Amino acid sequence: AQTVTQSQPEMSVQEAETVTLSCTYDTSESDYYLFWYKQPPSRQMILVIRQEAYKQQNATENRFSVNFQKAAKSFSLKISDSQLGDAAMYFCAYRSERGGGADGLTFGKGTHLIIQP
Amino acid sequence: GAVVSQHPSWVICKSGTSVKIECRSLDFQATTMFWYRQFPKQSLMLMATSNEGSKATYEQGVEKDKFLINHASLTLSTLTVTSAHPEDSSFYICSARGGAWETQYFGPGTRLLVL
């Protein structure tokens, strides 16, 4: 079974600064997707960024980028120019592709990101 | 696009009663929907995978007779918590798989409180 580990229960960053959230995972599969989801106080899950395991290039979405190290099974999220609206729980998630993408997500325990004004 | 709704958003019920939660994909067809449970200050745990027109697949440790899932159409899946007990109180979130990337789009969740 796959596992996802987020070792930082809480992170704090000054507004406009950069922060990196860590995520490691364990799998024996070679084909999978990795995701970062954001859950604000409303509890609505919002997709931040996705990464296909077969792609070497790191995904980027505006201020959000990942550092995907497949051999090390590491998938960190970097948030640049942090804004107050970035404050939320961030979950790293894994999805196997063995079922053609029809599998559910395995989530890490989450990191609570605090933005200091 | 890719909006998923859940109804109700909040429900309080007495112990022993059953509660039905609906999950709808509003602007796309979802052959697969997923049900997750999230306890306070914890992560999301996959409960079951629901495929349109077939029986749901439950994760280990999830009682299929207690959490009845029906996926009758490409836009609707329902979760019924039967004979609810206080330990079933939780936040239930559905997601629907769709779009070009087969991404999972999440509903806003349903908070269940069993008294």
Give yes or no for A103 touching B (CB within 8 A).
yes
Q: Within the 33-62 window of chain B, which residues sit less than 8 Å (CB to CB) from chain A?
A: 34, 36, 38, 42-46, 49, 51, 59
* Burial class of B63 by CB neighbour count within 10 A (0 to 12, 13 to 18, 19+): exposed
Mean pLDDT of chain A: 95
* Shortest Cα distance, chain A CAs vs residue B22, angstroms: 16
β-pairing verdict for B10-13 and B110-114: parallel
Among the partner-chain residues B43, B102, B109, the one whose CB lies closest to the CB of A107 is B43
Sequential DSSP letters for B15-80: TT--EEEEEEESSS--SEEEEEEE-TTS-EEEEEEEETTS--EEPTT--TTTEEEEEEETTEEEEE
pLDDT tens track for A14-64:
999 999 999 999 999 989 999 999 999 999 999 999 999 999 899 999 999
Is A101's pLDDT higher than 80? no
Query: Average of pLDDT values for A81-100?
Result: 93
Give yes or no for A11 touching B (CB within 8 A).
no
Buried b (16+ CB within 10 A) or exposed e, B28-62: bebbbbbbbbbeeeebbbbbbbbbbeeebbbeeeb
User: Cβ separation of B45 and A107 shorter than 8 Å?
Assistant: yes
> What was the pLDDT predicted at B37?
97
> What was the pLDDT predicted at B54?
84
* Burial class of A103 by CB neighbour count within 10 A (0 to 12, 13 to 18, 19+): buried
Query: Based on C-alpha coordinates, what's the Rg of chain B?
Result: 13
Express as a percent the part of chain A with pLDDT over 70: 100
> What was the pLDDT predicted at A84?
97
> What was the pLDDT predicted at B100?
66
What's the average pLDDT block by block, 10 residues per block, for chain B (115 residues)? 91 97 92 92 93 89 94 92 96 88 88 97
Distance between CA atoms of A38 and A77, rounded to whole angstroms? 11
Query: Average of pLDDT values for A85-112?
Result: 92
* Shortest Cα distance, chain A CAs vs residue B79, angstroms: 16
> What was the pLDDT predicted at B1?
66
Give yes or no for A50 touching B (CB within 8 A).
yes
> What was the pLDDT predicted at A34?
96
Between the alpha carbon of residue B79 and those of residues A44, A89, B62, B69, the distances in Å are 18, 26, 13, 5
Among the partner-chain residues A91, A105, A110, the one whose CB lies closest to the CB of B46 is A105
Calculate the CA A5 to chain-centre distance.
11
